[in-house]
Amino acid sequence: MNSYFSFLKDQAVPTILVVGCGRVGESLVKAYANENTPMMAKVYVTDSDKERARRLSEYRLSSITPIRWRYAHDTPDDVDVIVVAVDHDSEHKIIDRLALAERPFISLSDYASVYDSYEDYEDEFKENKVYGVIGAGLVPGIANVLVKHSASKFDKTLDIMVEKQGFVSSSSLAAIKSARREAPLSVRDGILSDSKRSAGSGISWFPSPYNSLECQSVATAVKTLKKSWPNAHNISVRFAEPRLPTFSERVRKLVFKEPLTTTRACVKVEVTGLLNGEIATRIFAVTGDALSMITHMTIQSIVGIFHSTNNNSVLISPEEVVDAKDLLLALHEDKVVINFFDGIPD
């Protein structure tokens, strides 16, 4: 069985519509429509560049169908879940379409402003009984799943720190730059508030080969973490300064049309809590091919939200539909390096 679906446990594979056929969308579609995928899952694809969607469908014509998706009623009747893999400017324009399409959805955006836009449409989503996961990528995505896995060992969660290094495309690089440039958010003594950029900057340790990196506090994922852990005293999210493409990488982009990407990324979470009256800390870090990690997280989110019994929430946190053990096992099988420090006493 394909490693992307090793977690299934006899669960059905939903039919999906992937909006956006860039690097992330392409990786997801090819993994989902792989010949080893159980039940040969059906995928619809759409993109503002019609030719890009058509070319992607040629990967497996029997299961990938390009469509036009300008309006909500263009959604094929057999679509179970809609996956949004576009840049943040494009995503702002299609949120109303998601509300009217009346399907569960997955957004891969890691922009804090996109999350705010989804919140603005909360009434429309409720009216149409639509719900979705926002940020099913590295952060909040994998980060939230790791935080839940770590926090589950404590009687009470006190502090949460999430840090990320790496990007997969020019769009995700722009997201990191924007997040580091804009005013960050943080939770201090249980209160969500703005903070100065300088207050959250510092040097952080990442597993080899990264080691010490300069990090900057951002607003990304802070609201989702606060929503899931409302009693946490302190919550911070920090992004490392991205390693920009080298001269040779830029040349390859111009000559061979290779995308600018570091290919690898690291997500680290540090959770401090109380256990039997004592304070302890757990640290998890996953390091590997960023595109592969995002694809694993997205596929498990798709299946998870399709089988979800959610009846209340509109914006679902990633950790609510993805099991940490399933995700970590799938990542490990795909050669993602998993490091952890368990400060809980024996």
Tokens matching residue 157: 């969660």
Domains in the chain, ordered, with CATH? 3-137+294-323 (3.40.50.720), 138-290+325-342 (3.30.360.10)
Contact 232, 162 (CB under 8 A): no
Which position has the token pair 């949460």?
160
How far is it, in rounded angstroms, from Cα 306 to Cα 314?
14
Give the burial class of 308: count Cβ atoms within 10 A of its Cβ; 0-12 exposed, 13-18 middle, 19 or more buried.
Answer: middle
β-partners of residue 296 are none
Q: How many residues does the chain have?
A: 346
Interhelix angle 143-151/324-333, rounded to 10 degrees, is: 120
Report the C-alpha gap between 301 and 293 in whole angstroms. Answer: 12
pLDDT of the chain, 346 residues: tens digit per residue? 457 888 888 888 899 999 999 999 999 999 998 866 666 689 999 999 999 999 999 999 889 999 999 999 999 999 999 999 999 889 999 999 999 999 999 999 988 889 999 999 999 999 999 999 999 999 999 999 999 999 999 999 999 999 999 888 777 878 888 888 888 999 999 999 887 655 567 889 999 888 899 999 999 999 999 999 999 999 999 999 877 667 776 777 777 766 655 578 999 999 999 999 999 999 999 999 999 999 999 999 999 999 998 767 899 999 999 999 999 999 999 999 999 987 665 5
Rounded to 5°, angle at Cα 152 from 147 and 156: 95
Predicted confidence (pLDDT) per residue in 205-228, tens digit:
999 888 899 999 999 999 999 999
CB-neighbour burial class of residue 233 (10 A; exposed 0-12, middle 13-18, buried 19+) = middle
